[in-house]
Amino acid sequence: MGFSQLWLMLLSLPILAAVEEMSARVGVVTKRGLNAIISKYFGYRLALVVALIVIFANVATIGADIAGMAEVIGIFFKINFVYFILPLALILISLLLAENYQKVSRLFFILTPLFLLYVVAGILTQPDWRDVIVNTVVPHLRFNISYIALAVGLLGTTISPYLLFWQTTEEVEDKKTVKHLKEEKYGVFWGMFYSHFVFYFIIVTAAAVLFGKIGSIETASEAALALKPLAGELAFFLFALAILVSGFLAIPVLAATTAYVTADTFHWKEGLDKKMFQARGFYAVLIGALIFGGLLVGLGINPVKMLVYSQILNGFLMPILLIILLKVTSNSQIMSKYTNGFWTKFFGWLGVLVFVVLDLLLVYQWVK
């Protein structure tokens, strides 16, 4: 695909910012998790279906991320990566069990700047910047199943269901009030801009180094190793280190989100600030998500394919979630006077339209 899907990053930035702002506002105003709101106003069955899809996609992503981290460590120590899967899962479980929400959140804040390693690695690959810019501002839509599937997966990764649930939960856990809504709006936008900026350079790096130059990539370690001869030792090291950092940041969020979504669905007690005996179901799901994610890798399931298919599934779930989120945040009975403005509605419904069009194109390509 090369740089041909970079335009989706530009298109999705205002959509993601609007979606995350709505999610944050739901948490601040209602003081409840998103799936608890879905269950109350749209029915338990829909909340259960949403929870099952989110759990499946999150566990698959956890497995792929653990595999990526283990493979990178295996490269450094020249040992089969399988030996690092269990230790990594145990370290991540210990992190989430040993610390409360505030300490875990602080760790995330400290690790976040290290994502810039992806940017440095991308610059070191010396891509054709003219080609990069043209593909960023000029849409390139190809009507074949590979392109459409990856476009759905890319958007399913960028505007992912777990982000909506985590953002809502974060506001509830931080005990934010409506007085903080304005600063939260700006904070969410710049947070999404930063994440997009980093993701943009991940695509640039992969396209510059891998596209048309080597065979298919089956693992994260293969992608990192491919940088060595083509972009240098430093680019390889920075990209590999960034994989580790992103894993330590993303996996706890994915596991915690899985637990929060499940707890909201079944009305369990929840929260990283609670002790295990106070929220047994919540912690059982959290630990189970990490263990099952690790087991998927141990069973020999290809982590890259698992990641791609789970993100495509996210791409089919997102328009449903976006419609629900728009209805919730436009309802004055739920949100009081803090309902959507024009631009939030505009970019929210634009997101629905983009997902629906791409999903229908993918279904058409599958069945034709």
Query: What's the pLDDT tens digit per position in 233-286?
Result: 776 777 777 788 888 888 888 999 999 999 999 999 888 888 888 889 999 999
Which structural domain range is residue 95 located in? Answer: 6-367
pLDDT at 302 over 80: no
Which pLDDT belongs to residue 226? 63
CB atoms within 10 A of CB 126: 13
Burial call 177-205: b when 16+ CB within 10 Å, e when fewer: eeeebeebeeebbebbeebbebbbbbbbb
In total, the chain counts a number of residues equal to 368
Would residue 228 count as lying in a domain? yes
Would residue 105 count as lying in a domain? yes
Would residue 160 count as lying in a domain? yes
Which pLDDT belongs to residue 356? 96
For residue 119, what is the domain's CATH number?
A: 1.20.1740.10
Measure the CA dihedral 76/78/83/85, to 10°.
30
Instruction: Determine the Cα–Cα distance for residues 173 and 31; give it in Å rounded to an integer.
Output: 9
Contact in structure between 59 and 314 (CB atoms under 8 Å): no
φ/ψ (deg, to 5) at 66: -60, -40
Residue pLDDT, tens place only, 156-215: 888 988 899 999 988 888 778 887 787 777 888 888 888 888 888 888 887 877 665 555
Structure tokens at 166: 């985590």
Distances 5 to 73, 177, 196, 305, 351 between C-alpha atoms, Å:
30, 38, 13, 19, 16
Instruction: Determine the Cα–Cα distance for residues 208 and 118; give it in Å rounded to an integer.
Output: 13
CB atoms within 10 A of CB 1: 17
Picking from 126, 151, 198, the residue whose alpha carbon sits closest to that of residue 4 is 151
Instruction: Determine the Cα–Cα distance for residues 184 and 171; give it in Å rounded to an integer.
Output: 9
Contact in structure between 38 and 206 (CB atoms under 8 Å): no
pLDDT at 231 over 60: no
Would residue 1 count as lying in a domain? no
Contact in structure between 61 and 246 (CB atoms under 8 Å): no
pLDDT at 230 over 70: no
Number of domains within the chain? 1
Q: With bands split at pLDDT 50, 70 and 90, how would you rate the model's confidence at 352?
A: very high
Would residue 269 count as lying in a domain? yes
The C-alpha R_g of the chain, in whole angstroms, comes to 20
pLDDT at 342 over 90: yes
Would residue 215 count as lying in a domain? yes
Structure tokens at 29: 């105003």
Instruction: Determine the Cα–Cα distance for residues 132 and 114; give it in Å rounded to an integer.
Output: 23
Instruction: Determine the Cα–Cα distance for residues 226 and 221; give it in Å rounded to an integer.
Output: 8
Q: Where are the alpha helices (DSSP H) in the chain?
A: 6-30, 34-42, 44-77, 85-98, 101-111, 116-124, 129-137, 145-158, 161-173, 181-210, 220-231, 233-266, 280-298, 303-329, 332-335, 342-367
pLDDT at 295 over 90: no
Which pLDDT belongs to residue 229? 56
Indicate the pTM of the whole model: 0.85
Residue pLDDT, tens place only, 129-153: 899 999 999 888 888 888 999 899 9
Picking from 310, 108, 124, 112, the residue whose alpha carbon sits closest to that of residue 224 is 124
Instruction: Determine the Cα–Cα distance for residues 243 and 76; give it in Å rounded to an integer.
Output: 13
Region of residue 78 (phi > 0: left; psi between -120 and 50: alpha; otherwise: beta): left
DSSP state of 78: T
Picking from 226, 297, 238, the residue whose alpha carbon sits closest to that of residue 60 is 297
